[in-house]
Amino acid sequence: MATAAHKIEIRRERRPQGVVAHLVFDNARRLNVLNPPALGELTQAFRALATEDDLRVVVFSGAGGRAFIGGADINHMAAMRQSEDGRAFITLIHKLCQSIRDCPVPVICRMEGYTLGAGLEVAAACDIRIAADDAHFGMPEVKVGVPSVVEAALLPRLIGWGRTSWLLLTAENIGAAKAEAWGLVEEVVPAAKIAEAVERCVHSIVEGTPLAVRAQKRLMRRWERLPLDEAVQAGIDAFAQSVSDGEHIVPMTAFVNRKKR
């Protein structure tokens, strides 16, 4: 999928446990900023991946090494005048984030260089974030006349209200070490080692059984919306369904037999 300004590459790596999809967004000349066509195409890409039964994990990255996503296209935003222009554009960002959250398998965000504004919202929508040690993160919106919105609402549950306030109200960037300490990213590694770190994470995920991993992500999304007692009940229901699916029988039996030797 491509336009004159950007391209989207999806490489499917077939393994014994299933397919690992590597999705790369390439607008590297402009730090991988997101304009309306790119947002629509990325959303379509994630929705298409979601229909693939043998999919096990998606690795989402930006091309060029200088940015995961450097934000939304400021040229497009500067031309907006009517409230409906703003509503339409920001809804496109939300739809991309929602397509990532709706993806039935884990989405790993590989973060190099800058992840800013809409890029950080997209990263927050992913399940696991792995960053290079020279990466930088920020939410600069208030410095250009708009608030941070849509999936910025995920940040308080990742890093707490105080740190979210610091990011959104000061609009200052933070480095990878602070992002890891805050819980904004799950792992920081030397830039030269990021591919290895991503592969370790992929390997761990695909070692899980397919239905269980999908059930776990689906359940975690429900936990976000439910009061504690209902979240616990949802877990009971999910466990019962997994037993009915029978995916546990082979690995658990193998484990029991191994213990008997």
Q: Which tens digits make up the pLDDT trace of 233-256?
A: 999 999 999 999 999 999 999 999
78-110 confidence digits (pLDDT tens): 999 999 999 999 999 999 999 999 999 999 999
Q: How far apart are CA 63 and CA 201, in angstroms?
A: 20
Position 114 in a domain: yes
Domain end position, chosen among 165, 186, 207: 207
Query: Exposed (0-12), middle (13-18) or buried (19+): which is 201, by Cβ within 10 Å?
Result: buried
Runs of H (alpha helix) within the chain: 36-49, 74-78, 83-102, 118-125, 155-159, 161-170, 176-182, 194-207, 210-225, 228-245, 249-260
Closest CA to 129 of 184, 54, 206: 184
163-198 confidence digits (pLDDT tens): 999 999 999 999 999 999 999 999 999 999 999 999
The pLDDT of residue 214: 98
The pLDDT of residue 2: 43
Same domain, 189 and 215: no
Same domain, 228 and 150: no
Please give the average per-residue pLDDT across 26-55, as a whole number. Answer: 98
List the domain range (segments joined by +) for residue 133: 7-207
The pLDDT of residue 246: 94
Position 2 in a domain: no
Position 174 in a domain: yes
Position 1 in a domain: no
Position 28 in a domain: yes
The pLDDT of residue 5: 82
Same domain, 185 and 246: no
The pLDDT of residue 261: 67
Tell me how far apart the terminal alpha carbons of the chain are, to the nearest angstrom. 53
Same domain, 229 and 172: no
Asked whether residue 16 carries a pLDDT value surpassing 80, the answer given is yes
Q: How far apart are CA 99 and CA 93, in angstroms?
A: 10
191-228 confidence digits (pLDDT tens): 999 999 999 999 999 999 999 999 999 999 999 999 99
Position 119 in a domain: yes
Q: 103 to each of 9, 45, 48, 116, 157, how far by Cα in Å? A: 17, 11, 9, 23, 20
**Which secondary structure element, helix H or strand E, spans residue 185, and what is its range?**
none
The number of distinct structural domains making up the chain is 2
Position 55 in a domain: yes
Same domain, 138 and 26: yes
Same domain, 150 and 92: yes
Asked whether residue 114 carries a pLDDT value surpassing 80, the answer given is yes
Asked whether residue 18 carries a pLDDT value surpassing 50, the answer given is yes
**Better-predicted residue by pLDDT, 141 or 1:** 141
Q: How far apart are CA 255 and CA 203, in angstroms?
A: 20
Same domain, 129 and 216: no
Asked whether residue 3 carries a pLDDT value surpassing 50, the answer given is no
139-162 confidence digits (pLDDT tens): 999 999 999 999 999 999 999 999
CATH of the domain at 39: 3.90.226.10
Tokens of 181: 């300490």
What's the pTM? Answer: 0.95
Same domain, 225 and 132: no
Same domain, 59 and 163: yes
Domain end position, chosen among 163, 188, 207: 207
Strand arrangement, sheet containing 174-175:
67-69, 114-116, 136-138, 174-175
Question: Phi and psi (nearest 5°) for 77?
Answer: -65, -35
Tokens of 7: 């391209």
**Better-predicted residue by pLDDT, 26 or 4:** 26
Average pLDDT value for the chain: 96
Please give the average per-residue pLDDT across 29-51, as a whole number. Answer: 98
The pLDDT of residue 236: 97
Same domain, 227 and 185: no
CATH of the domain at 241: 1.10.12
Position 39 in a domain: yes
Same domain, 111 and 190: yes
Same domain, 124 and 150: yes
- The residue behind tokens 């800013």 is 116
